[in-house]
Chains A and B, each alone.
Chain A
């Protein structure tokens, strides 16, 4: 839950507001499983606290489900071209884990971060769709959600197609092949390359982070098994030695529990932020695709206009009676072209701002994640050291 100010800098770390300062603060809570069988889903309680005048009141509680969040994301993506829309957690493909406690908690956390990022973005926070999402009743929401077909909904397949085209275009440029409908902006090229490479690096890092979580679980399990075996061996031996084994066994089991806890923390506070980073980069790729579309549209219109101009001149020379019609068409096209150019230039402008914001935010996000990671590891190691050390006095006594 991030308390935010309505500010032009788009900073997400404003101080806690007093009542005079504008604030919009949201929590996504209480996941509840609803429905049956294949139709089962999780619903969340979304609590909004705000003093923005556009909102219905200081507090509002609604019930939302994952696809409602998807609707919001898609609407924002359509309306705010150029903005790096905050990423959503993935849809779960594996049935088994869809309702596991860990998955539900991870998703809840990610959804909470999602809406709050929107609420702290100077442009997005003013979105009407956001207001709808935070305030509308469930029937309205359901209606809106089911309307989302075709135009706004970016199917995963479409996105994949766009990315594929993107990648070929990027590599073509890299290879020196010329494609006519491509921006020839070296800085922008650099940015695109950066984004693509960044995704590779981050995916690898996230993969290893996930493995590290697994390793903690495995070490915990093996310590538990070892502890049990030590206790049984101790029962065999008896006397001081038996007690020593038994103590060791107990300590091992304690540490096993500790390791499982740390594995969970690692998952929530280190692996998840890395995953989130990857998602953010993927969201940027979608924006890059949008920009490419806008640029292409602008170019196509410019081409069309040129042809129309030539045609018009021809008609005018021949004093054709089609001149009037053609002139009208030409005017319309000109207006369209100007609009397309405006839209494209807006995307460029917004993206330039967004990239600064993105880098700042990611440094913050990762800084926090690194801090949590290091603290967690350090605490864990200290716990482990303390636990083993506590066995030493007795062992020393036995040996003397």
Chain B
């Protein structure tokens, strides 16, 4: 369920950036003599690239001493670093997390090797829980790119006034339901809204990933590169999440969206809205006793819910900690187990929100630490230079040398903090992701409530129809020979009752279907969340330990270099 955004990283331009990092390495002769240190330093330099890319970091746990840690496991060998084996042949050390290589994860490499579409956060040696039984060999990979300005061709009073952005949506897949294995289409944001609306209708009760916000901004802002890029990223995330959902990835709506060239052949919301409106108009009439027939097929969609759903998404996105109960129409939900689960989801959402916030603070504190450490280091470098230039006494040169060691260590430590943080952000992002998913849960539960409301409405309608029929029959039987007009009315009423009964049965079936969807989705959510969170915790902890070790080593060296002072002080 959550794996799709992990696939959302661009290719890392490793070589150019690696040179950059290496040129920043401070003059540290002792580093080169020890193969271990230069190796892990080199590697950690590479992983700092994760900063600006959406790269998934994966720890490669060092294997036991007698095997070359780089060759096992083969699926995570870093193809861009052929020198590695040579560096490492001389060192045999017990595995420590300081030697864990936090390297950026190349999605292409993974797909070619594993063919797994949602590698999740599992590492090779420790098995993660299998997230979806069917996805072991099939995949859909979606990329959103190449935003372009286009013009509304018709219906514009002022020529050239209506411009919009389209995005190139490229899909690579080996699933058989698609026509081919690689194809592209151009879509605009409106199309995404349409897709989202149609999915909401077809997949009631499912936890459908929420689409990106509409952002009501001026057209000038719309075209600003920052906004366009933000939206591109959001669209990609959204489509990838859809592609991860075991049921929705197979939907016709998605297939059509991804494949059909030209205009998106799905009914737009304005078309549907007018149908909805009719349906919505009819329902109150029924409630107030006018005999208007309810077509059975219309009960499959919540009359009021159709418009409410859209409004709901918007509202819930605004404040995720909405009062769960208050925003729903009061419905008599008889399923105690469901009510319990709903309460649990509510709690979960609250705690996720809290944890997500604290995670952000933690990330900020780590970042600040790294920054200040770096600034301290730079200041000492300047001091060192100053003392060396102005030195008259040897004591000054000694002090300058000591200062340089501290400065070097501080700058290194600062880099490690920043790298650590880049990884931490990615791990703890899982919290944010699941928080966002709560919107889908809201939606699915509200589908259920709407369906129940429909059933209950029809039941009460039936009951009032029946009582009207009874009254008419009683009145009619008093008239000898029959009351032609009344008898006709009774016939009509009986017809209405029949149709309404059918509608009721359809509505009940729909309700049951949605209930079942809720149930399976909840199970899936719990299962996947369980796995994702465990992986998140493991990744987080591994990173913290690994970088703490690296930082400890850096300072231990300085402590060693200044140990003479410790002996002298009383």
- Interface, chain A (partner B; CB < 8 A): 1-3, 13, 16, 190, 194, 197-198, 201-202, 204-205, 208-209, 211-212, 214-216, 218-219, 221-223, 225-226, 228-230, 232-233, 235-237, 240-241, 244-245, 248, 356, 359-360, 362-364, 366-368, 370-371, 373-375, 377-378, 381-382, 384-385, 388-389, 391-392, 395-396, 398-400
With an 8 A cutoff between CB atoms, is B379 at the interface?
Answer: yes
Chain B residues within 8 Å of A228, by CB: 358
A selection of 16 A-B contacts at a CB cut-off of 8 Å is A197-B390, A205-B380, A219-B368, A229-B354, A232-B355, A233-B351, A237-B348, A237-B530, A367-B562, A370-B562, A374-B562, A377-B413, A388-B544, A395-B534, A399-B126, A399-B538
Chain A residues within 8 Å of B402, by CB: 363, 366-367, 370
Please report the number of residue pairs spanning A and B whose Cβ atoms sit closer than 8 angstroms: 216
Of residues 364 through 394 on chain B, the ones whose CB sits less than 8 Å from some CB of chain A are 364-366, 368-369, 372-373, 375-376, 379-380, 382-383, 386, 390, 393
Give the Cβ gap from B377 to chain A, nearest Cβ, in Å: 9
Chain A residues within 8 Å of B396, by CB: 359, 363
Q: Name the residue on B nearest A244 (C-beta).
A: B537
Q: Are A400 and B127 in contact (CB under 8 A)?
A: yes
Q: Are B358 and A226 in contact (CB under 8 A)?
A: yes
Chain A residues within 8 Å of B376, by CB: 205, 208-209, 211-212
Q: Are A2 and B570 in contact (CB under 8 A)?
A: yes
Q: Name the residue on A nearest B545 (C-beta).
A: A388
Q: Beyond the given A201-B383, A218-B365, could you list 8 further A-B residue pairs with CB under 8 A, ordered by the A residue number?
A: A208-B376, A226-B355, A360-B393, A363-B398, A366-B403, A378-B552, A385-B552, A392-B542
A367 to B566 Cα, complex, angstroms:
8
Chain A residues within 8 Å of B454, by CB: none
A201 to B382 Cα, complex, angstroms:
8
Q: Are B549 and A367 in contact (CB under 8 A)?
A: no
With an 8 A cutoff between CB atoms, is B105 at the interface?
Answer: no
Q: Are A219 and B541 in contact (CB under 8 A)?
A: no
Give the Cβ gap from A357 to chain B, nearest Cβ, in Å: 10
Q: Name the residue on B nearest A221 (C-beta).
A: B365
Q: Are A363 and B386 in contact (CB under 8 A)?
A: no
Q: Are B537 and A245 in contact (CB under 8 A)?
A: yes
A192 to B565 Cα, complex, angstroms:
29
Q: Are A211 and B372 in contact (CB under 8 A)?
A: yes
Which of the candidate stretches B227-235, B247-255, B507-515, B553-561 sits at the interface with the other chain? B553-561
Contact of A248 among B530, B537, B555 (CB under 8 A): B537
Say whether chain B's binding surface is mostly helix, strand, loop, or mixed: helix
- Interface, chain B (partner A; CB < 8 A): 97, 122, 126-129, 344, 347-348, 351-352, 354-355, 357-359, 361-362, 364-366, 368-369, 372-373, 375-376, 379-380, 382-383, 386, 390, 393, 395-396, 398-399, 402-403, 405-406, 409, 413, 530, 533-535, 537-538, 540-542, 544-546, 548-549, 551-552, 555-556, 558-559, 562-566, 568-570
Give the Cβ gap from B417 to chain A, nearest Cβ, in Å: 10
Chain A residues within 8 Å of B379, by CB: 201, 204-205, 208
Give the Cβ gap from A41 to chain B, nearest Cβ, in Å: 30
Give the Cβ gap from B416 to chain A, nearest Cβ, in Å: 9
Chain A residues within 8 Å of B358, by CB: 222, 225-226, 228-230
Known A-B contacts A212-B372, A218-B368, A373-B406; the reply to A202 vs B545 at CB < 8 A is no
Chain B residues within 8 Å of A399, by CB: 122, 126-129, 534-535, 538
Chain B residues within 8 Å of A367, by CB: 398-399, 402, 562, 564-565
Contact of A368 among B368, B555, B569 (CB under 8 A): B569
Chain B residues within 8 Å of A216, by CB: 369
Known A-B contacts A209-B376, A371-B565; the reply to A378 vs B555 at CB < 8 A is yes
Chain A residues within 8 Å of B357, by CB: 229
Q: Name the residue on B nearest A392 (C-beta).
A: B541
Give the Cβ gap from B538 to chain A, nearest Cβ, in Å: 5
Known A-B contacts A245-B537, A377-B413; the reply to A364 vs B568 at CB < 8 A is yes
- Enumerate the 9 nearest inter-chain pairs by beta-carbon distance, A residue then B residue, closest first: A381-B552, A367-B565, A378-B555, A374-B558, A385-B548, A371-B562, A388-B545, A374-B559, A384-B548
Q: Are B359 and A389 in contact (CB under 8 A)?
A: no
Chain B residues within 8 Å of A13, by CB: 568-570
Give the Cβ gap from A72 to chain B, nearest Cβ, in Å: 23
Chain A residues within 8 Å of B380, by CB: 205
A266 to B523 Cα, complex, angstroms:
50
Contact of B97 among A240, A363, A389 (CB under 8 A): A389
Q: Are B127 and A377 in contact (CB under 8 A)?
A: no
Q: Name the residue on B nearest A398 (C-beta).
A: B534
Known A-B contacts A205-B376, A371-B565; the reply to A229 vs B541 at CB < 8 A is no
A211 to B344 Cα, complex, angstroms:
43
Chain A residues within 8 Å of B347, by CB: 236
A356 to B413 Cα, complex, angstroms:
34
Q: Name the residue on A nearest B383 (C-beta).
A: A201
Q: Are A395 and B555 in contact (CB under 8 A)?
A: no
Q: Are B534 and A201 in contact (CB under 8 A)?
A: no
A400 to B122 Cα, complex, angstroms:
11
Give the Cβ gap from A256 to chain B, nearest Cβ, in Å: 11
Q: Are A359 and B568 in contact (CB under 8 A)?
A: no
Give the Cβ gap from B441 to chain A, nearest Cβ, in Å: 14
Q: Are A241 and B558 in contact (CB under 8 A)?
A: no
Chain A residues within 8 Å of B413, by CB: 377
Q: Name the residue on B nearest A382 (C-beta).
A: B552
Give the Cβ gap from B202 to chain A, nearest Cβ, in Å: 31
Q: Are B355 and A229 in contact (CB under 8 A)?
A: yes
A382 to B549 Cα, complex, angstroms:
6
Q: Are A219 and B366 in contact (CB under 8 A)?
A: yes
Give the Cβ gap from A57 to chain B, nearest Cβ, in Å: 24
Contact of A378 among B373, B542, B559 (CB under 8 A): B559
Chain A residues within 8 Å of B382, by CB: 201, 204
A277 to B107 Cα, complex, angstroms:
53
Known A-B contacts A367-B565, A368-B565, A381-B551; the reply to A194 vs B390 at CB < 8 A is yes
